[in-house]
Chain A
């Protein structure tokens, strides 16, 4: 099956620093990648949708200047949390959809961010 990796799997940082999370599709090309945020015992909250080579589309209420998304290639998307604060602490999960037009999304294992 399709495999999506995320790196790092967890990160602890000081308030005010920036953190970059990578999402890679390992065995398929992903035209579209999605970034989600999940709080404990809650469902997925879509933050943004990114298409290779174009700007990301952010969901309402998500600050695009705070959560920078880059989808530079068909296998890599990055999420940078700029000037992170404790309220940004969460579980961030990416997913990718194949270029061939299938509708399934394949998820990465997630990144746990803790901001001190």
Chain B
């Protein structure tokens, strides 16, 4: 079993839709959770960083962490074609190593 599971997609939605991206994990020692966005042929860009259960909102993006269920989510409201990218979840115990999900490819159609 992988430490972090993420559905690779692809996920295709119409413009304006609410997008839900999810990851599950098995290591209860993970304390810090991140979401990255990666456009084709570019390095990943940090979108959200959280360290506690609950919701964190930043513009159209909301990150949700449920440590009891070992489940994290990223919601994108009013999705735009420019949101089309691969979204990677990542988590760490606070040590050196960060574990990344496989990434979910998202397509937002105009």
Chain B residues near A43 (CB, 8 Å)? 88, 100-103
Tell me if B43 counts as interface (CB < 8 A to partner A).
Answer: yes
Tell me if B71 counts as interface (CB < 8 A to partner A).
Answer: no
Chain A residues near B100 (CB, 8 Å)? 43-44
Chain B residues near A112 (CB, 8 Å)? 41
How many interface residues does A have (CB within 8 Å)? Answer: 24
Tell me if B3 counts as interface (CB < 8 A to partner A).
Answer: no
Q: List 30 A-B contacts (CB under 8 A).
A: A4-B43, A32-B96, A34-B98, A42-B102, A43-B88, A43-B101, A43-B102, A43-B103, A44-B44, A44-B100, A49-B97, A91-B41, A93-B44, A95-B43, A95-B44, A103-B34, A103-B49, A103-B51, A103-B92, A103-B94, A104-B34, A104-B46, A104-B49, A105-B90, A107-B36, A107-B44, A107-B45, A108-B43, A110-B42, A110-B43
Chain A, residues 4-20, CB within 8 Å of chain B (1/0): the string is 10100000000000000
Tally of A-B Cβ pairs under 8 angstroms? 51
Chain A, residues 64-97, CB within 8 Å of chain B (1/0): the string is 0000000000000000000000000001010100
> Which of A42, A46, A107 has a CB less than 8 Å from the CB of B43?
A107
Chain B residues near A32 (CB, 8 Å)? 96
Please give the distance in Å from B55's CB to the nearest CB on chain A: 18
How many interface residues does B have (CB within 8 Å)? Answer: 23
Tell me if A61 counts as interface (CB < 8 A to partner B).
Answer: no
> Which of A34, A57, A109 has a CB less than 8 Å from the CB of B42?
A109
Tell me if B61 counts as interface (CB < 8 A to partner A).
Answer: no
**Among the interface residues B44, B94, B100, B102, which one has the most CB atoms of the partner chain A within 10 A?**
B44
Alpha-carbon distance A56/B32, docked complex (angstroms)? 24
**Among the interface residues B43, B44, B103, which one has the most CB atoms of the partner chain A within 10 A?**
B43
Nearest-neighbor residue (CB-CB) of A49 within chain B? B96
Chain A, residues 35-68, CB within 8 Å of chain B (1/0): the string is 0000001111010010000000100000000000
* 4 nearest CB pairs, A to B: A107-B43, A103-B32, A43-B102, A110-B43
Nearest-neighbor residue (CB-CB) of B32 within chain A? A103
